[in-house]
Amino acid sequence: MRRLNRKKTLSLVKELDAFPKVPESYVETSASGGTVSLIAFTTMALLTIMEFSVYQDTWMKYEYEVDKDFSSKLRINIDITVAMKCQYVGADVLDLAETMVASADGLVYEPTVFDLSPQQKEWQRMLQLIQSRLQEEHSLQDVIFKSAFKSASTALPPREDDSSQSPDACRIHGHLYVNKVAGNFHITVGKAIPHPRGHAHLAALVNHDSYNFSHRIDHLSFGELVPAIINPLDGTEKIAIDHNQMFQYFITVVPTKLHTYKISADTHQFSVTERERIINHAAGSHGVSGIFMKYDLSSLMVTVTEEHMPFWQFFVRLCGIVGGIFSTTGMLHGIGKFIVEIICCRFRLGSYKPVNSVPFEDGHTDNHLPLLENNTH
């Protein structure tokens, strides 16, 4: 009974065979078929290699939602060099929500030389070139996201040459934690002093002729510090043409969650609009000389995720390539063979000429072909 059941099962499986077996004696090969097969196999190999390269590549997916996190603090990473001595300038943040000066204890004032070394100038030139390309090719931002933590840091390289020049500038670097509301980070003359109605800077003791707010922004970012991420103001350099000059940066910060195969970080992207003007009260241009960065947070949060093609999709696409090329080349070969046969038949019919007709006695002619004579002896 078991053997009978096995034979029935085996016969049933054989009947379900969807691939008919053609005996080799029925298969006819031709030069045209071999040529088409060679072209088909070459095309399949090229498309398979291209499809495998697509399978290895990844892309960034952007999703948008409302940012519901208002209780956490916002980190501001700062590295700015001002062409004034450190005792003449002060930096702080004015929190617009509480109308008070946020603590600036996380900043370090370091005396330095404003002019860059040749190596540092090359770094600045390359960074400015990347910034210009990012403004034209927005897809490069995806490459920067994917290369985070893979490449070297984008920080300004340290000065290698031993400069004998005395420090004429102040490098203000460090980080601050502020509330997630609009604020104003500014660098102006004099150190900040507490004031019950707001804040003020002690600028009376600073000579007006020593004002020089030429500055270089080596780094400015919001949120978690991620190496190899280039921010819009990195590498910016502004030269003041007057002692009383105001530089303003209007920044819109967008919270961003970055998830790649290498890292997961809570950072922030931002866009910026720049403006500068000379302070001249006589001409109606009022204000305070200095560097002002007014930032505001967007209500939307962006989630950037690195995605990869799943293997099943790659396998289905690969099967589609193989089957599609086999079917398409088979149909094209059949159509081409059919057209060639029609053309050859027309040429044969055109080259056919009837044999000389044999006249009968009554005037009719015999147009039939003569029978082949039997030459056997």
Check whether residue 337 and residue 268 sit in a common domain.
no
For residue 8, pLDDT over 80 is answered with no
What lies within 8 Å, CB to CB, of 226 at 6+ separation is 148, 149, 258, 263, 265, 267
Asked if residue 275 is part of any domain, the answer here is: yes
Asked if residue 314 is part of any domain, the answer here is: yes
The rounded percent of the chain whose pLDDT value lies above 70 is 74
Task: Give the model confidence (pLDDT) of 149-161 as tens digits.
Answer: 455 556 777 776 6
**Residue 1 pLDDT grade (very low, low, confident, very high; cuts 50, 70, 90):** low
Look at residue 321 in the predicted model and tell me its pLDDT.
84
Task: Give the model confidence (pLDDT) of 28-82 as tens digits.
Answer: 666 767 777 788 888 888 888 888 888 887 778 888 888 888 778 889 999 999 9
Check whether residue 267 and residue 316 sit in a common domain.
no
Task: Give the model confidence (pLDDT) of 91-139 as tens digits.
Answer: 888 887 655 555 567 889 999 988 888 888 888 888 888 878 777 766 5
In the beta sheet, which residues pair with residue 95? 100, 183
What average pLDDT does the structure give for the chain?
78
Average pLDDT over residues 222-228: 80
Asked if residue 176 is part of any domain, the answer here is: yes
- Domain tally for the chain? 2
Task: Give the model confidence (pLDDT) of 234-248 as tens digits.
Answer: 889 999 988 889 999
Between 69 and 362, where is the model more confident? 69
**Which tokens sit at 188?**
């102006």
Check whether residue 230 and residue 338 sit in a common domain.
no
**Which tokens sit at 199?**
């804040």
Asked if residue 362 is part of any domain, the answer here is: no
Check whether residue 105 and residue 253 sit in a common domain.
yes
**Which tokens sit at 271?**
């866009």
Average pLDDT over residues 219-224: 89
Look at residue 336 in the predicted model and tell me its pLDDT.
79
Look at residue 47 in the predicted model and tell me its pLDDT.
87
**Residue 376 pLDDT grade (very low, low, confident, very high; cuts 50, 70, 90):** very low
For residue 88, pLDDT over 90 is answered with no
Average pLDDT over residues 206-215: 84
Check whether residue 47 and residue 170 sit in a common domain.
no
Check whether residue 71 and residue 43 sit in a common domain.
no
Query: How many CB atoms sit inside 10 A of residue 169's CB?
Result: 22
Asked if residue 352 is part of any domain, the answer here is: no
Asked if residue 335 is part of any domain, the answer here is: yes
For residue 292, pLDDT over 80 is answered with yes
Asked if residue 181 is part of any domain, the answer here is: yes
Check whether residue 44 and residue 108 sit in a common domain.
no
Query: How many CB atoms sit inside 10 A of residue 133's CB?
Result: 10
Check whether residue 211 and residue 103 sit in a common domain.
yes
Check whether residue 239 and residue 148 sit in a common domain.
yes
Domain boundary among 297, 332, 365: 297
Check whether residue 279 and residue 316 sit in a common domain.
no
**Residue 339 pLDDT grade (very low, low, confident, very high; cuts 50, 70, 90):** confident
Give the domain extent around 313: 28-58+308-346
Look at residue 208 in the predicted model and tell me its pLDDT.
75
For residue 354, pLDDT over 60 is answered with no
**Residue 325 pLDDT grade (very low, low, confident, very high; cuts 50, 70, 90):** confident
Residue 312, phi then psi, degrees to nearest 5: -65, -35
What is the 3-state secondary structure of the chain?
A: CHHHHHHHHHHHHHHCCCCCCCCHHHCCCCHHHHHHHHHHHHHHHHHHHHHHHHHHCEEEEEEEEECCCCCCEEEEEEEEEECCCHHHEEEEEEECCCCEEECCCCEEEEEECCCCCHHHHHHHHHHHHHHHHHHHCCCHHHHHHHCCCCCCCCCCCCCCCCCCCCCCEEEEEEEEEEECCCEEEEEEECEEEEECCEEEEECCCCCHHHCCCCEEEEEEEEECCCCCCCCCCCCEEECCCCCCEEEEEEEEEEEEEEECCCCEEEEEEEEEEEEEEECEHHHCECCCCEEEEEEEECCEEEEEEEEECCHHHHHHHHHHHHHHHHHHHHHHHHHHHHHHHHHHHHHHHHCCCCCCCEECCCCCEECCCCCCCCCCC
Check whether residue 90 and residue 202 sit in a common domain.
yes
**Residue 252 pLDDT grade (very low, low, confident, very high; cuts 50, 70, 90):** very high
Check whether residue 74 and residue 50 sit in a common domain.
no
Between 377 and 336, where is the model more confident? 336
What gap in Å lies between CA 90 and CA 191, rounded to an integer? 4
Between 358 and 126, where is the model more confident? 126
Quote the pTM value: 0.68
What gap in Å lies between CA 202 and CA 198, rounded to an integer? 14
